[in-house]
Chain A
Amino acid sequence: MNILKQGIEFIETKDFEELSRISAEVMADCVRRKPDSLFCLATGSSPSRAYEIFVELVKKEKINVQNLRILKLDEWWRVNENDPCTCENFIQTRIMHPLNISPKNYISFNSDTPDANVECNRISQLIQDQGPIDLCILGIGKNGHLGLNEPGVYLTPFTHLVELNDKTKTHDMLSKTNITIEYGMTIGMADIIRSRKVLFIVAGEEKNDSFNVFLKGQIRSDLPASILWLHPNVLCVFESKLK
């Protein structure tokens, strides 16, 4: 079922498989129309199946991804990039290797950089040179975060270092490591808002509370995902049980 509310197009899907299939189609469609698209990719369980189907589609339909460019949305800080918990590991295993994307078409926060601010500035410059993002794929945090833009009093426009919120420290991905992660790096709100299109994937029962606050349509800094109401071209796919 499609609903248009305040500019966001919502697609209610019957299950995770259907949600993932629709998301993968959106990705494929974008790269078919613009082979050098810049994708900004979230990690975690919500988009994982969509990426799998996207890789299948690319192979089955021989979609040209030679010029596809990938930007990693966010990353933990002070952890080796080979650690199983990193976003790097996720993107490498599920996107970069299967699609054989060249490192020159990849923009990525380095997780064990000694100076996170320098690293954020480097990524910011690359986004400025290569942006805007054509398709920004986002999930919602249990606490309403977007990328690692955590709930707070303020919104931050560009890439920055963040101290993780307690709920974020319980993130699925962090259960894969013994290291305690306290900080993360993420692209900012202006980077997201200036993307040409946003694919907002909402899956998993633990997202029920934050998604329902989001649906109220209020734009607030303590629910960073709500900033998506300001974006003119958002497609939100969600599991029907979450409404």
Chain B
Amino acid sequence: MRLIIVKDYDEMSRKAASLVSSQINLKPDSILGLATGDTPKGMYKELVNLYENKELDFEDIKSFNLDEYYGIDENNSQSYHYFMMNNLFNYINISRENINIPNGSIKNVEEECTRYEGKIQEAGGIDLQILGIGANGHIGFNEPDLNFEAETHLVNLDEKTIEANSRFFNNKKEVPTKAISMGIKTIMHSKKIILLASGISKADVIAKAINGKITPEIPATILQLHQDVIVIIDKEAASKL
């Protein structure tokens, strides 16, 4: 793991965007694995800036998002579809057919998981995967468990995750309790991984993810086995290392 500690959230976002933009410039038809949430939001904003300054071209880029809530329409303002469209895709020249996000409103979940997994394989796997980390150590929606789930699957969200997400919904009852997530194997097969974290609330889990023992109870610990992970975190998130 290569560790880059930066001053604050803005610097983390700029640093991450500059690595993503190198990837795109080196391989204009890269397959990107994308994450949602507050953590990568600033990075997406930087990428949009770079695109507007004509420093980046997304024409041949393909993307696969890590996850989506299950039982939520893609037009719902809390869906990850909505997040991606409004934080990145609407502002860059990526082709709509090159955007892949699990379909959270589908009836047959199993079929959707198989389809999504197949599509990633067919594209040749992910070149660069962006990850955030949950306070419970989740990556994507791979929640703490007795084993690491290999492929795209339906997840019962952890109580802590539901709690953390509830701030975005009017009441706790509306918070989705399930999600479709890429599996650990799919993430680990990515050629390169960038893990982002910012703020004091992530300090404990970052210390465990980087220096702790590898266990499915803290899914991010599996990243210690990958040969090319760059961890970009701000001082607060790094404060317990």
Contact = CB atoms under 8 A, between A and B. Distances in A.
Contacts of A221: 214-216
A230 B216 contact: no
Contact of B225 (A153, A154, A157, A218): A157
Contacts of A153: 213, 215
Interface in B184-241: 184-185, 188-189, 213-216, 222, 224-227
**Most chain B CB inside 10 Å of its own CB: which residue of A193, A194, A219:** A219
Interface in A190-241: 190, 193-194, 217-221, 226-227, 229-230, 232
- Tier of interface size on chain A: 20 to 34
Contacts of B215: 153-155, 221
Given A193-B226, A194-B227, A230-B188, A219 B150 contact: yes
Contacts of B148: 218-220, 230
Interface string A147-158: 000000111110
A218 B150 contact: yes
Contacts of B185: 6-7, 219, 229-230
A189 interface: yes
Main SS class of interface, A: loop
B189 A218 contact: no
A220 B214 contact: no
A157 B210 CA distance: 12
Given A6-B151, A218-B150, A230-B184, A154 B213 contact: yes
A187 B140 CA distance: 29
A47 interface: no
Interface in B133-155: 146-151
Contacts of B149: 218-219
A132 interface: yes
A7 B225 contact: no
B125 interface: yes
B150 A229 contact: yes
A159 B147 CA distance: 23
B184 A232 contact: no
B189 A232 contact: yes
A221 B144 CA distance: 13
A214 to B, nearest CB: 12
Given A7-B189, A194-B227, A220-B216, A232 B150 contact: no
A157 B147 contact: no
Interface in A169-202: 189-190, 193-194
Interface string B29-65: 0000000000000000000000000000000000000
A220 B147 CA distance: 5
Contacts of A232: 125, 189
Nearest to A218: B147
A219 B214 contact: no
Contacts of A218: 147-150
Contacts of B227: 132, 190, 193-194
A234 to B, nearest CB: 11
Interface string B162-200: 000000000000000000000011001100000000000
A189 B58 CA distance: 36
Interface string B118-130: 0001000100000
Interface of A: 6-7, 132, 153-157, 189-190, 193-194, 217-221, 226-227, 229-230, 232
Given A132-B227, A219-B216, 8 more contacts: A153-B213, A155-B213, A189-B225, A194-B227, A219-B148, A219-B150, A220-B146, A220-B147
20 contacts: A7-B121, A7-B189, A153-B213, A155-B215, A157-B224, A157-B225, A193-B225, A193-B227, A218-B148, A219-B149, A219-B184, A219-B185, A219-B216, A220-B146, A226-B147, A230-B150, A230-B185, A230-B222, A230-B225, A232-B189
**Nearest 4 pairs between A and B by C-beta?**
A219-B148, A220-B147, A154-B213, A155-B214
